[in-house]
Amino acid sequence: MTKVHQHLVSAARLAGLTGWRRLAVAALAGVVSVLALPPIHVVPVLFVTLPMVLWLLDGAATRRAAFAVGWAFGFGFFVAGLYWIGNALLVDAARFGWMIPFAVGGLSAALAVYVGLVTLAVQWLDPRRGWPRVMVFAAAWTLGEMLRGWALTGFPWNPIGTVWMPLDAMIQSVAWVGVYGLGLLTVAVAAMPAVLGWDRATWRAPVAALAVLAGVAVAGAARLPDGPLEVVDGVRLRLVQPNIPQVLKWSPERRAENLYRHIDMSRLPAEDGLAPTHVIWGETALPFALDGTEDGGTQDRVRQVVAEALGDTGTAVLTGVVRTTPAGQQPYQVWNSLVAIDATGSLRAHYDKAHLVPFGEYVPLRSVLPLDKITPGATDFSRGDGPTTIDLPGLPPASPLICYEVIFPAAVVDADNRPAWILNVTNDGWYGVSSGPYQHLATTRLRAVEEGLPLVRVANTGVSAIIDPYGRILSEVGLDRAGVADGPLPVALPATPFARSGLLLPLALTGFVGLLGLASRRNRPHVMK
């Protein structure tokens, strides 16, 4: 039996599955697809699993069945890709451990709805089998990812375009069409082997798809510079990653020790002999709230001690901290913030996180949900004003982002006041040694390429790194390690097409691909050969 005949038989068998067997195979395909995501990156699995979705869809006679195929695939995909969320609930297992099945399973079930809508759309639009059907599937998938990144505050985690992170040349395309455009190409190419299960006569569409993929890689390689990067004069950054276990981070007995751990690491001699001008600590690195919960004397002492971390040549410490309203002021509010403290101990700038994590930093529908937020403290965090550009002492203007604010494409900088770099402070210590911190790093690198801006990422633990505007890591401290990373700040590139137009280009490309598939949907009846 030839390989083409084997494809035909495989497609027919998958289309013939019914009931729980069809859903089980779809869910298994979703689980296996996660092998393509960070940090494993076995991309070829998608060339098997995505065609399987289309073949399973062939056997779905009703819209409900079509939706169920996509939902089952999505459920397997998200459970396997987001399992690490359970680690955050184990930090205080006595209070939150019981939530793991609901958090991982419930979130995955909800996110799977978007994939169910993809397969429902393909069946409802009824494109012709062959490359048109693949094009419609890719377009619907991309629109589903965009919707997932926006609806109900959005959760664009693990977009399919992140599978290419090991290849610097491939990810350069996001400077034009963003991660959603790269995902569109990924699904279109990886699902194209489905054509061989419908038509034994044509190899042209899969070969053409691979040729487009190769062209994108060649264009990306041409974009990468050969020579050294231009850097900002007079700026030397030190990224401090103390690797404090999350269970000890807020322990009252460990507050002073945790603070001095940061300070001691900040004052370590540089390996290259170049003293840092700016020291950067991670999210909520200061173990004391500023502006209200501690007495003024304590806050002054903390600021002075932090200033000592700069030594004789430093300009400022940039650190995450909890800010509160001054004592006695109503209403009482709490913010997850980033502040700049100069060598005199003065606060020079601050930014308040705007895109908060549901159930982590606030409880949605608190009046009806009898739940506590996972982070310490009984008060929900308040929202800041959103992407902004701030001036920091001795540095070019920056766009500060805290934790997962960095995962939202086209929502990481103030478009009216373009910064010269992006600063992302985070704490991936909640997720332990898992795929979560690597997935977080991957999407962070894509923001740098999309915006054409260098990005500095500093974590309590995770992966702290200086990333250039091409998404390449220049220096780093790895996951579950304590250490510092020193390096210059690269100069920004001119605004990329994506930075200027946002989601318009990927939306236009998605619409073109979908219409291309629909243009010939009635040219031939749907008959298995």
- 313, 275 contact by CB (below 8 A): yes
pLDDT in tens, 299-317: 777 788 888 888 888 899 9
Please report which confidence band the pLDDT of residue 452 belongs to, taking 50, 70 and 90 as the band edges: very high
* Catalytic-residue membership of 529: no
Q: How far apart are CA 359 and CA 380, in angstroms?
A: 9
Confidence band for 522, pLDDT divided at 50, 70 and 90 = low
pLDDT given for residue 2 in this prediction: 56
Marked catalytic residue, from 145, 249, 353, 476: 353
Fill in the amino acid letter for 95: R
Q: Which domains does the chain have, with CATH numbers?
A: 3-224+503-518 (no CATH), 237-480 (3.60.110.10)
- The arithmetic mean of pLDDT across residues 179-207, rounded, is 90
Cis peptide bond prior to 39, omega within 30° of 0: yes
pTM above 0.75, yes or no: yes
Catalytic-labelled residue, pool 249, 361, 403, 476: 403
378-398: pLDDT as tens digits: 889 999 998 999 999 999 999
| Section 186-200 average pLDDT | 90
- CB-neighbour burial class of residue 422 (10 A; exposed 0-12, middle 13-18, buried 19+): buried
Work out whether strand 455-459 and strand 464-467 pair parallel, antiparallel, or are unpaired. Answer: antiparallel
Residue-wise pLDDT tens digits, 155-172: 999 999 999 999 999 999
Check if the beta carbon of residue 159 is closer than 8 Å to that of residue 145.
yes
DSSP secondary structure letters along 389-400 = -B--TTS--EEE
Q: Is 353 a catalytic residue?
A: yes
- Residue 526: its pLDDT value, please? 47
pLDDT at 480: 95
pLDDT exceeds 60 at position 1: no
Which pLDDT score is estimated for 254? 92
Cβ 56 vs Cβ 14: under 8 Å: yes
In 3D, which of 426, 429, 414 has the Cα closest to residue 239? 426
Of 275-284, 358-367, 409-418, 479-488, least confident by mean pLDDT is: 358-367
Of 345, 350, 333, 248, whose CA–CA distance to 299 is shortest? 345
Please tell me the distance from the alpha carbon of residue 341 to that of residue 398, in angstroms, as a whole number.
Answer: 15
Confidence of residue 239 (pLDDT cuts 50, 70, 90): very high
Q: Give the 3-state DSSP-derived string for 402-425, with helices as H, strands as E and coil as C.
A: EHHHHHCCCCCCCCCCCCCEEEEE
- pLDDT value, residue 472: 98
| pLDDT band for position 523 (cuts 50, 70, 90) | very low
Residue 528: both structure tokens together: 């298995």
**Radius of gyration over alpha carbons of the chain, in Å?**
25
CA distance 76 to 80: 6
From the candidates 145, 249, 283, 476, which is the catalytic residue? 283
Bridge partners, 486 (sequence order):
238
- Is the CA virtual torsion 153, 155, 160, 164 positive or negative? positive
- Categorize the per-residue pLDDT at 529 as very low, low, confident or very high, splitting at 50, 70 and 90: very low
Identify whether 3 is a catalytic site residue.
no
Task: Quote the mean pLDDT of the chain.
Answer: 92
